Structure 1
Amino acid sequence: MILLLFLAHGCAGKPPVPPPPPPPKVTVVQALRETITDYLELTGNSQAVNMVDLVARVPGYLEKVFFHDGEMVKQGQLLFLIQQNTYRENLAQAEASILQFRAQLSYAESQLKRYSDLVKQDAVSQSDTENWEFQRNSAEANLKAAEAQRNLAALNLQYTEVRAPFDGRIDRRLVDPGNLVGSGDNNVLARITQIDPMYVYFNISDSDLARLTSRGSWSPKRANELQRPVSAAFLNETGFPHQGRLDFASISLTPTTGTLLVRGIFPNKSGKILPGLYARVRVPLEKRSALLIPEEAIAQDQQGSYVLIVGEGNKVERRGITTGPGVKGLRVVESGIDGSEWIITEGLLRSIPGQQVTPERSRTAGKQTGQ
């Protein structure tokens, strides 16, 4: 009797079994269909549009330097001054010779006119007239030679002033004042580089060139195609912040590499792009319709990229996908979904394939593309 009472008391005190927890909540979105542009991403390097070694074109002692190493200079700005006194004297001497031969020419012409009148009166011989004609022609030739010497002397005097051929940045000077320049190997004074705009050279492989031409998106044979937009990034820059245009394509592929040399030109008013920088280049191919999903919806495992979708009965399904380029914070999906699926973006760790979830629909994908 006591045993029965004890068993009855134990059964009466057992708590009820709790109900199972509700399915975990997850946020789901549908893929967004948009028109996107496919790009060809390549690598290249920057080069200056113009780079010139400033040389001494006349010999002489370097008197003055009018710039600081590495500074920006303007076209026509005076940079170096070579000793001028000798060249000024040469110019003055040439101008004096012009005056001398001009006077001789004037005298010879007057004498020729006088003897031409006298020979008609048989007052002088024909040979006298011919002699003054010779004197006139000689004086005229001497005057032209003197004028040429004057022009050469003026040009040499002009060469004593070394000026910037274009706007750009000048490197350090290679010769200090007081040194003899313009003779022997001591001719290069400094180097000046035009940095705005800047060229970027890159090579397109034959396979990528086939993609460009087969889609009808580019033909280097047409001049207007060389104005197509191109973007670039340098150093640790993210994205492709520099916008330029194509302005040159080689007429043939390089046989050894099977690539076509192409050039883009980019504004560089800030001067941040330096010659010789490694560049990432992006060239537009064509526009097409594509499906895009948020980056956070994509997971990786040994089989590749996949997403978790909410299927029939709110059960989680794994769906393998092939991804494409990123666009406006989203990722292009090339295959694996058709756009009708509800894809889990939040709560992936709580989502197990085959188990039920409680989906909450969101339009996050559509909002992100408006950024």
Structure 2
Amino acid sequence: MRGGLHRGLQIFVTLIGTAALSACDGSSNTYVPPPPPAVRVAQPVQEPITLYFDLTGNTAPLNSVDIEARVQGYLQSIDYQDGTTVTKGTKLFGIERDTYQAQLDQAKASLASQQASQVGAKQEYDRQVNLMKQQVTTQTAVDSAKATLDEANAQILNAQANLELATINLGYTEVIAPFDGTVTNHLVDIGTLVGVSGPTKLASIVQTDPIYAYFNVSESQVLLIKDMLRKQGRTFKQTDLPSIPAELGLQSEEGYPHKGHLDYVSPQLDASTGTLQVRALFDNKDKAMLPGLFVRVRVPIGHNEKALLVRDDAIATNQLGSYLLVLGKDDAVEQKQVKTGQREGALRVIESGLDPADWVVIQGIQQAIPGSKVAPEKIDMKTQPAEAGADAKATATTQ
């Protein structure tokens, strides 16, 4: 019992002595800063690219017209199904034709009558001419026969015109498709009297293959193109348009999958908007595009053999515009204001403000503060970003 108490007293004295020695050696606790945050950096990609104007516009049909009844009568038939795609010349509507068939028959009979009268007038004129040669008639009789023949010839021309008019009116009783396209729903029903006080709209037909895309180019872009052409010693010609490619993408599509070419450029700028209207033509055999859709359009304007590209998600913005975080001296982070250009997949063109030798922070951007040091890991610019879960885990570990 006494031995255990003595041993415990020795341990206590030893601990007190150790604490006293620690307090007397002059050392104190100091703050140890955390290691610099880990980031990934990469140099910009330098490669040749085609320069584009990225624009927006709307699609429009190649042809779109109203189908109208041009003659009066009761609608007898609707020969298509609403929304059907038809070919040129397909019968769409039928208007009663009995009256117009009778008018045609009447015009034919009138022509036959006039032709018979002309034959008689010609015979009489020939007879008077022969009698005049025999000096057994007067010049007055010859002139009268000639006038009668001329009148008969004129009546034939009039009868032929009436026949053509009757044929045309009879043809109007069959309303046909003027071109290949899709016909809208019918606006009148069978039995309706149409064409009473003028043409009656029956439906519309729209041709969407190929399809137009209209878009506007700003005044500054127009001047830029003209300056580029001037430097190349070229001038713009409307005949060159089919050779200028254009690409189109819908809001739901990635990139620009639809290929076409320019088709029309307005000869003057719109003074109210300061823009120039341009039109492109695209194939639409699969009917993927409908008239009136909002679309993205891009048109090539040049080529850059040594363009600098960085990851688009590495670009940030502030009140001055776009900027990148780059490595400076002693791995300190610096901020560089840059001018951005078009996007190329996951990369974006940097038009100015960046050097090819710069190391751009592309991962761990939130931990990279301008002026502070970082622990950089150098990778390739085209390396895919780490998964979100891995990034979150790394952030939690750093914190």
TM range (shorter): 0.7 to 0.9
Corresponding residue SS for 1:102 = helix
1:338 is matched by which residue type in structure 2? D
The 3 A distance-change label for structure 1 pair 98 and 349 is closer
Contact 2:218–2:275, Cα closer than 8 Å, also in 1: yes
TM-score, normalised with respect to structure 2: 0.76
- Does 1:240 pair with 2:256? yes
Which residue number in structure 2 is paired with residue 223 of structure 1?
Answer: 238
Identical residues among aligned pairs (%): 37
Structure 2 partner of 1:48: 61
Alpha-carbon shift at residue 157 of structure 1 (Å): 1.0
Q: Structure 2 residue aligned with 1:276, among 292, 295, 298?
A: 292
Structure 2 residue runs of 5 or longer lacking an equivalent are 1-8, 20-33, 386-399
**Contact map agreement 1:30 1:365 (CA 8 A) in 2:** no
Q: Which residue of 1 aligns with 2:348?
A: 331
Unpaired runs of at least 5, structure 1: 12-20
Structure 2 CA distance for partners of 1:3 and 1:234, relative to 1, 3 Å? closer
Contact 1:321–1:333 (CA<8 Å) still a contact in 2? no
Q: Secondary structure at the match of 1:42?
A: strand
CA distance in 2, matches of 1:34, 1:69: 53
The change in CA–CA distance for 1:317 and 1:158 in structure 2 (over 3 A counts) is same
Question: Could you give the per-residue CA deviations for residues 80-106 of structure 1, whole angstroms, max 9, x where no partner exists?
Answer: 111111111111121122222222222
Whole-angstrom CA distance in 2 between matches of 1:158 and 1:365: 67
Q: What's the counterpart of residue 17 of structure 1?
A: none
Among 321, 324, 347, which residue is 1:306 paired with? 324
Question: Quick one: structure 1 residues 133 and 343, their matched pair in 2 at CA, closer, same or farther if it must change by over 3 Å?
Answer: closer
* One-letter identity of the residue aligned with 1:230: A
Q: Which residue of 1 aligns with 2:396?
A: none
Q: 1:319: Cα distance to partner? A: 4.7
Letter aligned with residue 320 of structure 1: K
- CA displacement, residues 285-323 of structure 1 (integer Å, 9 cap, x when unaligned): 3222211233455567899643454976xx464453524
Counterpart AA for 2:218:
S
- 2:118 corresponds to which of 68, 80, 105: 105
Judge which range, 66-75 or 28-37, deviates more.
28-37
Aligned length: 356
- Distance across 1 between alignment mates of 2:193 and 2:235: 50
State the TM-score, normalized to the length of structure 1. 0.81
**C-alpha contact (below 8 Å) 1:321/1:334 kept by paired residues:** no
Q: CA deviation at 1:355?
A: 4.4
| SS of residue paired to 1:176 | coil
C-alpha displacement at 1:245, in angstroms?
2.1
Against the structure 1 CA distance between its residues 58 and 211, is the aligned structure 2 distance closer, same or farther, given a 3 Å change threshold?
A: same
Q: What displacement does 1:178 show?
A: 0.9
Deviation at 1:112, TM superposition (A): 2.4
Checking the alignment, whether the CA contact within 8 Å between 1:32 and 1:366 is kept in structure 2 is: no
Aligned partners of 2:235 and 2:84: how far apart in 1? 38
Residue range with higher mean Cα deviation, 287-296 or 136-145: 287-296
Give the secondary-structure state (helix, strand or coil) at the position aligned to 1:134: helix
Q: 1:75 Cα deviation (Å)?
A: 1.0
Paired residue type of 2:259: Q
1:237-296 CA deviation, whole Å, 9 max, x = no partner? 332332222222222222222222222222222223222222333232322221123345
Query: Which structure has the greater CA radius of gyration?
Result: 2
Matched, 1:146 2:165: no
CA drift of 1:119 comes to 3.1
Cα 1:134–1:346 change in 2 (3 A) is closer
Decide which of 257, 268, 272 is 2:273's aligned counterpart.
257
Q: 1:93 is matched with which residue?
A: 106
Q: For 2:342, what is the secondary structure of its paired residue?
A: strand
Structure 1 residue 25: deviation in Å? 7.8
Is the Cα–Cα contact under 8 Å of residues 63 and 82 in structure 1 kept in the other structure?
A: yes
Structure 2 match to 1:129: 142
Aligned to 1:332, the other structure's residue is in SS state strand
Helix, strand or coil at the partner of 2:145 = helix
Equivalent position of 2:78 in the other structure? 65
Deviation at 1:174, TM superposition (A): 1.3
Structure 1 residues 96 and 220 mapped into 2: Cα distance closer, same or farther (>3 Å)?
farther
Q: 1:179 and 1:350, CA in 2 relative to 1: closer, same or farther beyond 3 A?
A: closer
3-state SS of paired residue (2:382): helix
SS at match of 1:216: helix
Out of 299, 304, 307, the residue aligned to residue 290 of structure 1 is: 307
Deviation at 1:214, TM superposition (A): 2.6
**1:138 aligned partner, one-letter code:** E
1: CA distance, partners of 2:159 / 2:12: 145
Give the drift of 1:153.
0.9
- Check the 8 A contact 2:89/2:178 in 1, yes or no: yes
Query: Relative to 1, partners in 2 of residues 1:302 and 1:158: Cα closer, same or farther, differing over 3 Å?
Result: closer
Q: What amino acid is the match of 2:113?
A: Q
1:331 is matched by which residue type in structure 2? R
Instruction: Tell me if structure 1 keeps the 8 A contact 2:328–2:334.
Output: no
Give the Cα separation in 1 of the matches to 2:164 and 2:318: 81
Q: Which residue of 2 aligns with 1:354?
A: 373
Whole-angstrom CA distance in 2 between matches of 1:93 and 1:2: 143
The CA deviation at 1:58 is 1.4
Any conservation in 2 of the 1:308–1:348 contact (CA below 8 Å)? Answer: no
Question: How many Å separate the matches in 2 of 1:9 and 1:22?
Answer: 36
